[in-house]
Amino acid sequence: MAISRHKARLLLLGPAGLWYAALLVLPLAVVLVYSFGERAAAGGYAPAFTLAQYANLGSRWAAFKNTLVLAPAGTLAALLIAYPLAYFLAVRVNPKWRTALLVLVIVPFWTSILIRSYAWIYLLGGRGIPTLLADLGLGDWRLINTPFAVLVGIVYGYLPLMVFPVYVSLEKLDKRLLEAAADLGAPPWRSFLQVTLPLSLPGVATGSMLVFILLMGEYLIPQMLGGGKVFFVGNALVDLFLQSRNWAFGSAMSVTLVATMLVVVTLYMRFLKRIGAARDDIGVM
């Protein structure tokens, strides 16, 4: 009995296991092997065993620095904007309008990020918002091709990914808990801090993870709104694989990026656990 159940479990895990092997483990293994190789004379990969690629990582320090500053900053900014929006949608809005408003949040996703970024190029460019600011007498602003423009672009581009998990966690929040808090003497802002916020942390965690991980690999928005001057690891990778075709170095950078992500995500999860958002506590009820 125990054995057949064991077998059945293996059978069920089979497809998932294959999926992981084919789509996750295998490519990562290839990248890992390549990262110890060399650039072939005409570009590409030549087998070798050297740590030279890793030793050269310092030459891309700025890309790592930009990514590690702007990815968390973008995540935080997206969260600060998404949370009130999600709260409004989940708690305040008349349910009659809720679906329509939720759809509006996704509508931008129906258009290519490329086109939307072009819109921002014009908005943040000299004839856009800076003209407006100048007309209002607020001084001479250069917005396009700055880290700020990239931040605007990534927050804009990834906002829906943050809104939805937060919305879901707020939407399933039992409204009677807030009534209970009020009944026990908590004014609305305190019951928000003591009940709503902690109970929506799983959504905050999911959204932040999602946005952060995608931002770590972002390259299109920095390319378009950073004018090639705000350089992410993703941009360095695109150059390495498509322009200079140094696959070995590109692989070493990819491995480093993945390792960095793992470290950051682990630290973040630990932090979340410590502030009491352990899944078990919230999953039930």
Partner 1 sequence: MQDDKAPITRQKFIEELLRYRKGSVTRRHFLGVTGLGTAMAVMGGAMPLLSPRRAFAQDIGGEVVLATWPNYHDPANFDAFAAETGAAVQVNVFGSNEEMLAKLQAGGSGWDVFVPTNYTITTYVDADLIEPLDLSKLPNYDAAAFEARFADAGTVGGKLYAVPKNWGTTGMAWDSSKAKAPFTSWKEFFDVTMTDFSGRTMVHDYQLTTIGNALKYFGYSFNSIDAKELADAEKLLIDVKPHLFAITSDYQPAMRNGDAWLTMCWTGEGKQLNRDIPEIQFAVGKEGGEIWSDYYAIPKNAPHRDAAYALINYLIDPQVNAKEALAHGFPVADSRVNALLPPELLADPILHPAAELLNALEFGAAVTLTDPNRAELMARFKSA
Partner 2 sequence: MTAPTRGEDESQAPVIAEFVDTTKRFGDIVAAERLNLQIRRGEFLSFLGPSGCGKTTALRMLAGLETPTEGRILIDGQDMGDAPAHRRPVNMVFQQYALFPHMTVAENVGYGLRQRRPRMDRAEIARRVDRALETVRLSDFGPRRIWQMSGGQQQRVALARAIVNEPKVLLLDEPMAALDAKLRGEMQMELLSLQRVLGITFILVTHDQQEALSMSDRICLMGQGRIVQIGTPRDLYDRPANRYAAGFVGSANMLDATVQSTADGQARVALADGSSVTVFSAGDRAAGDRVAIAVRPEALRLSVSDSVDAGATGFAATITHKTFLGEHIECLLHHPVLGQLQVNVPRQAERSLPGADVGRTVHVLWDHGSGLILGQD
Question: By the criterion CB under 8 A, which residues form the site for partner 2?
Answer: 174, 176-177, 179-187, 190, 194-195, 198-199, 276-277, 280-282, 284-285
Find out whether 160 and 142 touch, Cβ atoms under 8 Å. Answer: no
Q: Tell me whether residue 199 or residue 218 sits nearer to partner 1 (CB atom).
A: 218
- How far is residue 106's CA from residue 267's CA, in Å, rounded to a whole number? 30
The 10 Å Cβ neighbour count of residue 100 is 9
Which does residue 195 touch among partner 2, partner 1, none (CB within 5 to 8 A, set by kind)?
partner 2
Helix (H, G, I), strand (E, B) or coil at 230: coil
127 binds partner 1 (CB under 8 A): yes
Determine if 126 is a binding residue for partner 1 (CB under 8 A).
Answer: yes
Contacted by 235, from partner 2, partner 1, none: CB < 5 to 8 Å by type? partner 1
Choose the contact partner of 271 out of partner 1, partner 2, none; CB within 5 to 8 A by kind.
Answer: none
Buried/exposed code over 119-129 (b: 16+ C-beta within 10 A; e: otherwise):
ebbebbbeebb
- Of 160-219, binders to partner 1 (CB under 8 A) are none
Single out the segment in contact with partner 1 by CB under 8 A; choices: 78-86, 140-148, 180-188, 205-213.
140-148
| Minimum distance, C-beta of residue 125 to partner 1, in the bound complex (Å) | 5
229 contributes a contact to partner 1 by CB under 8 A = yes
Total number of residues that touch partner 1 (CB under 8 A) = 37
* Alpha-carbon span 178 to 219, nearest angstrom: 42
Cβ(98)–Cβ(170) below 8 Å:
no
Q: Is 252 within 8 Å of 54 (Cβ atoms)?
A: yes
* CB atoms near residue 217 (< 10 Å): 16
**DSSP string for residues in 48-68:** ---SHHHHGGGGGHHHHHHHH
Sites for partner 1 among residues 38-57 (CB under 8 A): 39, 41-44
Residues in touch with partner 1 (CB under 8 A): 39, 41-44, 59-63, 111-112, 114-115, 118, 121-122, 125-127, 142, 144-145, 223, 227-229, 231, 235-236, 239-240, 242-246
